[in-house]
Every structure is written in C-alpha cells, then in structure tokens.
Amino acid sequence: MLQIITRNETSKFFLNGIFAACIHFLFLLIMTTFSDANYGFSNFIACIFGSLASFLGNKYFVFASPTQTAQTYIQLVKFFFLYLCLCLNAGIALYFWSDIFGYYFMFGFLGITAVNTVLGFLVNKFLIFDK
C-alpha cells in the first residue's frame, strides 16, 4: 500500500519532536551542569531519555493506529535500533563539535537535532510505524 506523508501527521511529529527535544535538552543541561561528564557522553545519555519520550509520542500520538497494539514489541525493538544509531550520531557529532573543535554546544545540539529529526521521521513513518 502506498503511504503518503500528511500535514496532520507531520504536524504531530513536529510537536512530539519538540517535546522529546525538550526532554533531551533538559537532561543534557542537568548532565553538563551537575556532573563532570563531557558534552558527547552527556548528550548520549540525554538522548536516551529524549528517545523514550519520542517513542511513546510516536506510538500513541503521531502514528496511532488501532492495529498497532500487538506490534508494540517489534516496534520497540526497531525504534531502539534506530534511536541507538541516532543517539550515537548525536553523541559523536556533539563530541567533535564542542569537545574537539570548541564550538558552542547549543548550536551543535540544534543542528544535530535537525538532521536526526528528518532521519527519524522517515524511518518511523515507513519502517517502524507503517500502517
């Protein structure tokens, strides 16, 4: 079946992404403020919390479908591997951006988040929560 990207779904994904990015950023600020961890490691850990918020929002808000309940475990495994890759990308990229090259971490965070958002939407839509 041919799937299309709808405005409603895209809007919901964007809202869910903002919420998940806020969770991610909150944990990044906590880690960098109250621990001695570098930006790369802190961002990787924070990404886990943001990813969990993202999964729940995608499953029950963005790509909600009555037939998805039985597929939750499979979706969670696929989502885990996707977001593991995205978390590694975020952690490594921010490590180089801030710790190696010395650029301001918030700008790196925003750029990395933008790239990961597009990748995440496409994989979620067509491979994980496909209806």
The answer to whether residue 1 is domain-embedded is: no
Residue 67 burial (CB < 10 Å; 0-12/13-18/19+)? exposed
In a domain, 29, yes or no: yes
> Is residue 51 a contact partner of residue 85, using CB atoms and an 8 Å limit?
no
Q: Is residue 2 part of a domain?
A: no
Is the residue at 65 inside a domain? yes
Please report whether residue 120 resides in a domain: yes
Tell me if 118 is assigned to some domain: yes
pLDDT digits (tens, 9 = 90+) for 56-86: 998 889 988 766 566 778 888 999 899 889 8
Domain of residue 50 covers 7-128
Q: Which spans in 35-130 are helix H?
A: 39-57, 72-94, 105-123
Report the range of poorest mean pLDDT among 30-34, 44-48, 67-71, 93-97: 67-71
The total number of structural domains in the chain stands at 1
125, burial (CB in 10 Å: exposed 0-12, middle 13-18, buried 19+): buried
